[in-house]
Amino acid sequence: MNSYEKWSLILNSLTALGLFTISLIALFGGWIRKKIFPASLAVEILDKNGELTILDNGQRVIYYHLRIINRKPVIVQKCRVFLKKIQKLNASGQFEDIPLSVPPRYFWTPSETSPEGVDIVMEKIVDFGYIIDNGKDFKPTVTPILNSFKGNLSIHDTYRYYIETVAENYHPRKFTCVQVSWDGKWTEDLNDMHEHLVIKII
């Protein structure tokens, strides 16, 4: 084999390898990107004091939100947030499961215009729950609300809400646990209200 034939063989081999690599990327590009550039999300409480607003019927309400943070330089695609599990603190000091037949989905802010799944470049805000003045419970902001749903937190209760944040290119290894307690008092002074309705990530 002369020098020309050797170089021709090398070039043909490189061309074949390049075409094979391009074919692999075309077929498994998404999977490869997930492995080389994995997405990563963090969940934080936006403001433990909540946000005071007025409903259309004139009632005062305090909303609580979660911040979903993208920790990697890759866009998280069509992200959704679900309530996967609920636990209630019982009289013996143990958390017991509350039945949850269908995991409901949280609303992105603003809930009136946001789609079910959103792309996250840096961060997005999701509605977590709310409590109305003169109301009797804290209500998670989820859909659908079935007749069997028992996730509303009443006076002197402590609940743990387990959140799952999923996307086309992200799936968490474990749930995020958000604990909420309420002593039954409601005030529009948000600096004081957070002493009565306590929300924290466990």
Chain centroid to CA 17: how far?
41
Task: Say yes or no: 46 and 32 in one domain.
Answer: no
- Domain count along the chain: 2
Helices (H), the chain: 3-36, 190-193
Q: Is the pLDDT of residue 92 over 80?
A: yes
Residues 64 and 9 in one domain: no
- Contact 179/200 with Cβ under 8 angstroms? yes
Residues 25 and 46 in one domain: no
Task: Looking at the structure, tell me whether residues 96 and 162 fall in a common domain.
Answer: yes
Rounded to whole angstroms, how far apart are CA atoms 3 and 124?
61
The string of pLDDT tens digits covering residues 20-49 is 556 544 554 454 455 455 689 999 999 999
Instruction: Check residue 31 and give its pLDDT.
Output: 46
Distance of CA 84 to the CA centre of its chain: 11
Please tell me whether residues 31 and 47 are part of one structural domain.
no
Distances (CA, A) of 185 to 112, 127, 138: 29, 21, 11
Q: Which two tokens stand for residue 52?
A: 């005071």
Same domain, 139 and 49: yes
* pLDDT (0 to 100) of residue 101: 86
pLDDT surpassing 70 at residue 193: yes
Is residue 16 located within the same domain as residue 113?
A: no
- Shared domain for 46 and 97, answered yes or no, is yes
Collapsing DSSP states into helix, strand and coil, what is residue 202?
A: coil
pLDDT at residue 23, rounded to an integer: 58
Mean pLDDT of 45-57: 92
What is the rounded CA–CA span in Å between residue 137 and residue 152?
A: 6
Q: Are residues 21 and 100 in the same domain?
A: no
Percent share of the chain, pLDDT over 70: 81
Q: Which structure tokens are listed for 184?
A: 């039954």
pLDDT of residue 110: 85
Residues 98 and 178 in one domain: yes
Range of the domain at 32: 1-36
Give the C-alpha separation, 190 to 192, whole Å: 5
Sequence-ordered list of residues with C-beta below 8 angstroms from that of 55, at least 6 positions apart, any chain: 61, 132
Closest to 76 in 3D by CA, of 171, 199, 3, 184: 171
Instruction: Give the model's pLDDT for residue 58.
Output: 87
Where residue 127 sits, what CATH number does that domain have? 2.60.40
Q: Are residues 141 and 167 in the same domain?
A: yes
Query: Tens digits of per-residue pLDDT, 110-142?
Result: 877 778 899 999 999 999 999 999 889 999 999
- Rounded Cα distance between 197 and 202, Å, is 16
Say yes or no: 164 and 64 in one domain.
Answer: yes
Structure tokens given for 174: 């474990």
Q: What percent of the chain has pLDDT over 90?
A: 68
**pLDDT over 70 (residue 171):** yes
Taking the CA of residue 74 as centre, how many other CA atoms within 13 Å lie in the half-sphere pointing to its CB? 19
pLDDT at 114: 78
